[in-house]
Each structure stands twice: as C-alpha cells, then as structure tokens.
Amino acid sequence: MRLSVRFPLAFSVATALGVCLLPVARAQSQSSSSSSSSVSSSSASQTTGTGTYIVIDPLAKVRYDNRYDVSLGMAYDHMKAGPTLLSGSNLGGLDLEGSYWLTKRWGAEGTVRYYLGTSGAAPNPYAIQGPFVSQTFFGAGPEWLGPHNKHGDLIAHAMFGGVYGQFQKDLRGQPPSVVDFYNDQLAFAGIIGGHMDLNRSEHWTFRVTPDAILTRYSINYGNHATSNDVNFAISVGIEYKFTKKKR
C-alpha cells in the first residue's frame, strides 16, 4: 500500500519538474541555434569580404605600331677558322640589333655581333692547340613582320655587310698557314634568318634569333683563293619597343 502511494507521488513530482524545465531547455536551444547562425553568417561575411580579385592582362596594350625597337642577346656562332680545317669552332658572344619600321610590315634593321672562342688547329711543330679566334659582324638590311598577335610574332630579315675575322692573335707569332687558318681580314658577310618573339608586356619581348651566316674569307697565302662558308648562328635575349613614336 505504501509502495502504491509513493509511486504516483514520485511520478507527479517528475512530471512537474519536466514541465517547469521545458521552457528553459527550449530557450537554451534557441539561443545556441541563434548563436551558431550568427557565427556562420559572420564567417560567411568574412569569406565574402576578403577582397575582389582583379584580372590584369599584361598583354592588353601590345601593339605593332612602334617606330623603333632594340634587342640584345647572348649569341652563339659556328664557324671554321680555315679553309681546310676538319674541326669547326663554337664561338659565344653578344648580338645587338635595332629596327626602324617604315610601314606596318616593312622596316630596316641593323646589327653588330661579336663572337669569341677557341678553334681546332691543324697539326703543327709548334704545339699550337686551341688558339683563340674572333669575329665581329656588322650589317643592315630589310625586315618583314610576318604572323603576329598579342602573344608573339615571327619576323624575317636579310642583312648584308662585313665581318672582321681575327685569327692570328694567339698563334705565338707564327703565320696562319702553320695551322691552316685564314689571315686577319675584313670580308663580306650576309646574315639571313629572323626573329621569334614572345611578348611579355607592352614594351618587353623575349626574343630568339636563328640565322644562317655567310662569310667570304680570302686566303692570303698559297693559291690566294677565296672561301665561301655558310654557318649557323643563334641568339637568345630581350627586345625593348619604344612605343611613344608610332609608325
């Protein structure tokens, strides 16, 4: 009998406590949900408020209407220092070029190039091996602007002038005939090739210049003949366009 009285009494007390605590639990739940929503909204605002990315095209102002440009590159040239040598010479140097554009497609270009390196020598009794030789080219001629867009272009040129070949400075006072070299001389030269340009901005361009180089050196000993040689040359460097003056 006591057990039956106590059970309804305990059940009544528990029910009353649950009814009293229910609003508090609801308030806490609403508070936590509102705080979480405020945190998520603030994080969202922080995410969207970090800044706006502005896309800038460095090639947007690239035009092919400049009047002048100049380029400088590290250069390589293959040549033979004598008419009968079996081994060639691999020379390194600098390639300086400038252009004056006459029309939209046609211009005049000039170049000065200097190459220096060692060359194989014919067997000799003086133990001369690998003497230094050099070539200095200068020339001018027409150039033509081929396919082009804001990313790059192809340019063809044909320049003619002279070359000063220095072959005797490292022969220990011996004549060049000892090692089958040419004499030091000024000779005719032609440069035929072009440029492959990759634009980096309105003014600056990465430039590769492959060329075929024609030289006509004479032999000042023996049969006094002339020798026509065609060799490969290439330079890699940069070009600067002067854009204030237009074509």
Task: Specify the CATH number for 66-246; select among 3.30.70.260, 3.40.50.720, 3.30.2350.10, 2.40.160.20.
Answer: 2.40.160.20
Structure confidence at residue 47 (pLDDT): 43
For residues 157 and 213, what is the distance between their CA atoms, to the nearest angstrom?
12
**Neighbour tally for 100: CB within 10 Å:** 14
pLDDT score, position 50? 62
Residue 54: per-residue pLDDT: 79
Predicted pLDDT of residue 225: 80
The domain segmentation of the chain, as residue ranges, is 1-54, 66-246
Report pLDDT digits (tens) over 196-221: 999 999 999 999 999 999 999 998 88
CA dihedral 220, 226, 228, 232 (to 10 degrees): 0
- d(Cα 220, Cα 167) in Å, to the nearest integer? 13
Q: How big, in percent rounded to 5, are the helix, strand and coil portions of the chain?
A: 20, 50, 30
Angle at 136 between CA 132 and CA 141, to 5 degrees: 155
Query: If the chain, 247 residues long, is cut into consecutive pieces of 10 residues, what is the mean pLDDT of each piece?
Result: 44 44 46 44 45 82 95 97 90 98 97 97 94 98 97 98 97 94 96 98 97 94 85 98 92
